[in-house]
Amino acid sequence: MTDSIRLFDSHCHIDFSHFDDDRDAMFERMAAVGVEGCVVVGVDFGHIDSLRELAQARDNVWFSVGIHPNHEVEVEPTIEQLCELADHPRCVAIGETGMDFFRHHVDPDIQENRFRTHIRAAKMLNKPVIVHNRDADEASIQILRDEQISKCGGIMHCFSADMATADAAIELGMHISFSGNVTFKRNEELREVAANVPAELLLVETDSPYLAPMPFRGKRNEPAFVKQVAECIAEVRGRPLSELAAQTTANTRRIFNISN
């Protein structure tokens, strides 16, 4: 592991089949650049076993339980189901959940009810909520406000909205997490948001295997590439990478209640 840099990938999907051929080597590459841990995020109930197995096999992996807003299911999750599935010592969050108006695989009313169910389960468990928001800023913020998200806290994952949306989420006590898209050349406005999020609420992630940062754009993403995300944000904030990495790692451990 790199001595001077401590990074944490706050959101990835390394249980996916994209990593079946080189998962062990992927963990080695993580360690080589100073990534000391990652949260593997649930998108449906079918992956629960693989998430648990991965977290139990590795002392630097934690996981979450949830159904993605655009994942089609025959029966909607209940608060009781979410609480039961999240009853594991290495489950640190509920989600990802939220609202997505970019793709319409799931009706917005169903997405909203699902989102509220996840938040209510999270409050019962006192675990943070991992929020997916795409082209649904107003709806997402309103639901977070209605459901009193501050009682359990949460993360606006792979943030891609404007500063007004960030400010609204911050006012509710939400953390803001940035992924590889913050490095894309056209995303100057997003980098401006990253420059202004309060340091104590800032996280970095990969969302791997998706959204690989520059200069890997178009390739499969992986947790080691969170370093490029951190480098970009450190530059726009005018801070050393080691400082930015230490801050975001401390923030990740705090919001997810990860002590070891």
| Binding-site annotation, residues for a divalent metal cation | 11, 13, 96, 132, 157, 207
Cβ contact 106:74 at 8 Å: no
Asked if residue 235 has a cis previous peptide bond (ω within 30° of 0), the answer is: no
DSSP character for 147? T
Which amino acid, one-letter code, is at 253? R
Cβ contact 148:198 at 8 Å: no
In DSSP terms, which residues pair with 129 in a beta bridge?
Answer: 94, 154
Cβ contact 69:114 at 8 Å: yes
CA dist., res. 97 & res. 146, Å (int): 16
Structure tokens at 220: 């499969």
Backbone φ and ψ of 142, nearest 5°: -65, -40
Q: Which residues are annotated as a binding site?
A: 11, 13, 96, 132, 157, 207
CA distances from 201 to 55, 65, 155, 249 (A): 25, 22, 9, 11
CA dist., res. 166 & res. 235, Å (int): 20
